[in-house]
């Protein structure tokens, strides 16, 4: 949740600061970042730490080093996030948005569960299920079309789950955990590349007359609570040109 202490290493904090400025458009492509010396003085860190922060930004494809000139901001779409990454972000910050993102087109309804969804939620095909969808965007366009499928029984406990409005008081997973008293214990993620279908073209607001030819990333996530119940199945459809990136610390 918001307000938690930031225990990241200094270089990671510096990199995160500039990642936010770049992906939100506050630093435009072609802008030069401060020099290693100036970064070190501004953040009160060593030059080695400042250089490590810039190297992290280069490794993420956000900037490039130009010999004799400095570090330049690049212009490219940011990566999409998986359902589990959005869950982590929501738990940490209270919002599922990535840096520079916003969401719109929020829709919710109680519908009959398609076969794939029924299998994922371990319910009968055609059983009532809550479908919540929204579109994540940044300055480059659609990052992902995201759909959450939730067993209808949770809608009786939390009526706003079936309302076409942004949720208040937390994410759907947080609200369900609070009401039931059973936190999310684990999640199961998948990622695949899929050919664009007419349905995907419509969801991603593409021109059906000349859709992109490259495949798109589709990510799914099943969230299971401490009682062993599957409380949500998420499907994220990445916009054309979007990739998925994950990062973790490696210790020897």
Give yes or no for a contact between 84 and 187, defined as CB atoms under 8 angstroms apart.
Answer: yes
Q: What is the pLDDT of residue 2?
A: 43
39-60 per-position pLDDT tens digit: 999 999 999 999 999 999 998 8
156-175 per-position pLDDT tens digit: 999 999 999 989 888 899 99
pLDDT at 211 over 50: yes
Q: Give Cα separations from 88 to 71, 83, 173, 245 (angstroms).
A: 30, 9, 11, 15
Question: What percentage of the chain carries pLDDT values higher than 90?
Answer: 67
The whole-model pTM stands at 0.72
């Amino acid at each position: 949740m918001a307000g938690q202490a930031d225990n990241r290493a200094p270089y990671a904090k510096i990199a995160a600061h500039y990642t936010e400025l770049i992906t939100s458009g506050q630093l435009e492509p072609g802008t030069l970042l401060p020099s290693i010396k100036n970064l070190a003085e501004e953040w009160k860190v060593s030059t080695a730490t400042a250089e490590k922060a810039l190297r992290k930004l280069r490794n993420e494809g956000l900037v490039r080093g130009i010999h004799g000139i400095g570090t330049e901001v690049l212009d490219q779409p940011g990566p999409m996030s998986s359902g589990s990454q959005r869950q982590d972000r929501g738990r940490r910050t209270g919002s599922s948005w990535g840096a520079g993102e916003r969401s719109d087109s929020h829709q919710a309804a109680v519908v009959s569960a398609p076969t794939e969804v029924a299998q994922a939620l371990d319910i009968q095909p055609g059983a009532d299920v809550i479908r919540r969808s929204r579109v994540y965007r940044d300055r480059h366009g659609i990052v992902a079309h995201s759909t959450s499928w939730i067993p209808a029984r949770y809608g009786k406990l939390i009526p706003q789950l079936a309302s076409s409005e942004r949720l208040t008081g937390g994410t759907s997973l947080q609200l369900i955990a609070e009401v039931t008293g059973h936190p999310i214990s684990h999640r199961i993620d998948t990622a695949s590349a899929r050919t664009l279908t007419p349905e995907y073209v419509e969801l991603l607001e593409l021109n059906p007359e000349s859709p992109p030819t490259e495949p798109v990333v589709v990510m799914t996530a099943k969230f299971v609570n401490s009682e062993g119940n599957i409380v949500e199945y998420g499907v994220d459809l990445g916009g054309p040109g979007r990739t998925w990136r994950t990062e973790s610390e490696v210790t020897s």
